[in-house]
């Protein structure tokens, strides 16, 4: 999801600051057009984001959740938007609604995903058209044969996968 979001935001003219864990993922984000990339496993990452954004990002897409997601919310600019779309850490991001209101931050909680059903087909058609036109490209990290599906799942769960993991069915 992050690789597609980076590409779409860059295509829309946004100054993208990617946050990921590890050099491979940071390099991948830069290769996709992110103007800056910070490692959220390193101390001081939120200060780096504030510095490169001039105070804090206007829009944040949180796919990690937990403490990382909470830190990302805390640096979201006043009047910004904070969208939760994942819980890779295993925990959701907690945002106090009163705190969000006081800062004027619009929070789109993970529950937003449940309302996407009627729009999914149209969005899928749009992203497929963008991919066919070369505007976005999926990042395939590794392909496993069906017999190694357990290894594929382990790579995903350990967050070692870069991009999408594909299981080939022959």
Instruction: Report which of 155, 162, 167 is spatially closest to residue 2, judged by C-alpha positions.
Output: 162
Specify the CATH superfamily of domain 2-115.
NAD(P)-binding Rossmann-like Domain (3.40.50.720)
Q: What share of the chain is helix, strand, coil (3-state, %, to 5)?
A: 45, 20, 35
Percent of the chain scored above 90 by pLDDT?
A: 71
**Distance from C-alpha of 88 to C-alpha of 40, rounded to nearest angstrom:** 13
Give the model confidence (pLDDT) of 73-128 as tens digits. Answer: 999 999 999 999 888 888 999 999 999 999 999 998 877 677 777 888 888 899 89
* Mean pLDDT, all residues of the chain: 92
Is residue 15 within 8 A of residue 33, CB to CB? The reply is no
**Which tokens belong to 161?**
């996968």
Per domain, the residue ranges of the chain are: 2-115, 139-170
Give the model confidence (pLDDT) of 17-40 as tens digits. Answer: 999 999 999 999 999 999 999 999
> pTM for the whole thing?
0.84
């Amino acid at each position: 999801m992050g690789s597609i979001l980076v590409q779409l935001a860059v295509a829309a003219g946004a100054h993208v600051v990617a946050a990921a864990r590890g050099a491979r993922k940071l390099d991948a984000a830069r290769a996709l057009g992110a103007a800056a990339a910070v490692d959220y496993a390193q101390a001081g990452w939120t200060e780096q984001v504030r510095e490169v954004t001039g105070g804090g990002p206007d829009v944040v897409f949180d796919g990690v959740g937990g403490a990382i997601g909470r830190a990302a919310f805390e640096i979201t600019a006043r009047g910004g938007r904070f969208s939760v779309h994942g819980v890779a850490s295993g925990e959701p991001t907690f945002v106090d609604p009163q705190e969000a209101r006081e800062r004027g931050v619009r929070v789109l909680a993970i529950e937003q995903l449940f309302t996407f059903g009627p729009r999914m087909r149209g969005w899928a058609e749009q992203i497929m058209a963008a991919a066919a036109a070369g505007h976005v490209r999926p990042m395939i990290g590794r392909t496993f044969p069906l017999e190694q599906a357990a290894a594929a799942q382990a790579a995903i769960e350990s967050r070692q996968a870069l991009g999408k993991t594909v299981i080939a069915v022959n």
